[in-house]
Amino acid sequence: MRTGVLGPVGSFSHAAAMRTRPDGTLVFFETISDVFEAVERGEVDEGIVPMENSLEGSVGETLDCLLSHRVYMVGEYVLEVRHNLLSLAPTLEDVRTVLSHPQALAQCRGFLRRLGGVKVVATSSTSEAARMAALDPSAAAIASVEAAAHYGLKVLMSDIQDDESHTRFVSIAKKPLREVHGPAKTSIALFLKRDRPGALYEILGEFAKRSINLTRIESRTRRRALGEYYFFIDLEGQLGDCRVRDALSAIAECTDVMHVLGSYPAFRA
């Protein structure tokens, strides 16, 4: 099994992949989009990408890629995220620049505000920030302790995230799972019919009257014009369930576009 992850070595995507595919071969990519493209082209068997964080919400690049690439969600994993300030600098006062992925920077917004007087630079991943910090003694990275060990950095401060933080990662593959054993989820993306007032209400009602629990619903701009949105919905159950199939058939009348993103085993801690 070849698994594509956001790299380089030491990223939180790497940590999630090591826990879900400890015996697999990991292939590192510079961006989330690169992981999707590698899966779509068959360069790797699957990809593991960040989907949402408990502090900062969904990862927009992942949502956009789920709509623009012919891949399916086949699994999920929730990782507790602990951010650390890593550097070659001897003390915190010697740090002039802080580097990290935009999501990590946002999750440590309070810490950065208190730090003050430093330049904040966004990078493609937390581990890329660590790699760059290893080249500049005046720079520090917000990243994992694994990244500190790999790049020879010391931990200046630990647990600098604003609050307890968990990130949900999803596995993507070129083909959907045909059957899921045990508790399952199904993810879909919808674009509602504009000329049908109350379409979202009708859709939610179709799930409610079948006692299908929705675990997540959010909107994402269609990136064409203001006021145009996709709705991403996660629900309990799989496509093989009669209730789920009936609900998806019923809501099709309210949508201009419906993408079934896949059914997969629900994460259990």
pLDDT of residue 67: 93
End-to-end CA distance of the chain: 23
Does a structural domain hold residue 261?
A: yes
pLDDT of residue 6: 92
Does a structural domain hold residue 205?
A: yes
Tally of CB atoms within 10 A around 152: 11
Give yes or no: residues 149 and 198 share one domain.
Answer: no
Please state the domain count of the chain. 3
* Mean pLDDT calculated for residue range 140-148: 95
Could you report the per-residue pLDDT of 182-210, keeping only the tens digit for each?
999 999 999 988 767 888 899 999 999 99
Active site residues: 167, 169
Does a structural domain hold residue 137?
A: yes
- The CATH number covering residue 251 comes to 3.30.70.260
Could you report the per-residue pLDDT of 5-50, keeping only the tens digit for each?
998 899 999 999 999 998 889 999 999 999 999 999 999 999 999 9
Give yes or no: residues 169 and 69 share one domain.
Answer: yes
Does a structural domain hold residue 33?
A: yes
Judged against a pLDDT cut of 70, whether residue 70 lies above it is answered with yes
Give yes or no: residues 231 and 122 share one domain.
Answer: no
pLDDT of residue 214: 97
- Judge if pTM exceeds 0.95: no
Does a structural domain hold residue 179?
A: no
Could you report the per-residue pLDDT of 166-186, keeping only the tens digit for each?
999 999 999 999 999 999 999
pLDDT of residue 195: 66
* Mean pLDDT calculated for residue range 263-267: 96
* Mean pLDDT calculated for residue range 246-268: 93
- The CATH number covering residue 41 comes to 3.40.190.10
Where residue 116 falls among pLDDT bands split at 50, 70, 90? confident
Give yes or no: residues 69 and 94 share one domain.
Answer: no
Does a structural domain hold residue 178?
A: no
Domain that holds residue 260: 184-265
